[in-house]
Amino acid sequence: MRILVVEDTEDLADAIIQRLRKHGYAIDWASDGYQAEELLAGETYQLVILDLMLPGPDGQTLLRQLRRKGDQTPVLVVTARSRVDTKVDALDLGADDYVVKPFDFRELEARCRALLRRHHGIAASEQVFGNMVFDTATKKVTVEAQTVDLSAREFRLLELFLSNLNRVMAKDTLIDRLCSLDQPVAPNAIELYVSRLRRKLERASVVIRTVHGQGYVAERQDAP
């Protein structure tokens, strides 16, 4: 669940980044339109939080470029412009949602969760997998009605597996989704995260299986 924040106000960008990282998201930051263009050309994101008023290419230009390339990455526009015409223009250019500054961080987080769910074809925050319940809104996981204590990163790793059930996930892909560009990653980090997650979900109806030479796959089993 890697997110790109495109915002030129450093204090606001830092607040957004710290808030989302506490929830286990991998966040990259672009402070102007040129940095955003470079990152969008070379990296893959599951969500872009985009300010409209930027040095260099502005947010509308970036959004137009993104959609002209056929890139369907969800875009949440965040701007001080509150006029209806501005909102309409952004939505018509391909924005998926819109938040006006100043905003409540709880609303921003909820809108991010909604866009990420929608991108994966998931309607509600709570999903049931046999004896396991996974809720992105409360960040709570239960197995046989018992709460499972997961760290923020373990929660996001499980979210990745559940969003790609029965699909093999390469280690490099998992690292790319879980870690920001400025976060150093140990070579065996994914193995450690997966090992811890397996231990905590040993009674769950979802198991994480190693596919040698390829990565990992999460599969549903109704009789763990």
Q: What is the pLDDT along the chain (224 residues), one digit of tens a residue?
A: 789 999 999 999 999 999 999 888 889 999 999 999 999 999 889 999 999 999 999 999 999 999 999 999 999 999 887 778 888 888 898 999 999 998 999 999 999 988 988 876 666 788 999 999 999 888 899 999 999 999 988 998 999 999 899 999 998 888 888 877 777 677 688 899 999 999 999 999 999 999 998 999 999 987 54
Question: Is CATH 1.10.3470.10 the classification given to domain 126-220?
Answer: no
Q: Where are the domains positioned within the chain?
A: 2-119, 126-220
Alpha carbon of 1 to those of 23, 133, 135: distances in Å? 11, 19, 15
Task: Identify the CATH homologous superfamily for domain 2-119.
Answer: Response regulator (3.40.50.2300)
Which residues pair with residue 27 across a beta bridge?
3
In terms of pTM, does the model score above 0.95?
Answer: no
pLDDT tens digits along 53-77: 999 999 999 999 999 999 999 999 9
SS (H, E, C) the chain: CEEEEECCCHHHHHHHHHHHHHCCCEEEEECCHHHHHHHHHHCCCCEEEECCCCCCCCHHHHHHHHHHCCCCCCEEEEECCCCHHHHHHHHHHCCCEEEECCCCHHHHHHHHHHHHHHHCCCCCCEEEECCEEEECCCCEEEECCEEECCCHHHHHHHHHHHHCCCCCECHHHHHHHHCCCCCCCCCCHHHHHHHHHHHHCCCCCEEEEEECCCEEEEEECCCC
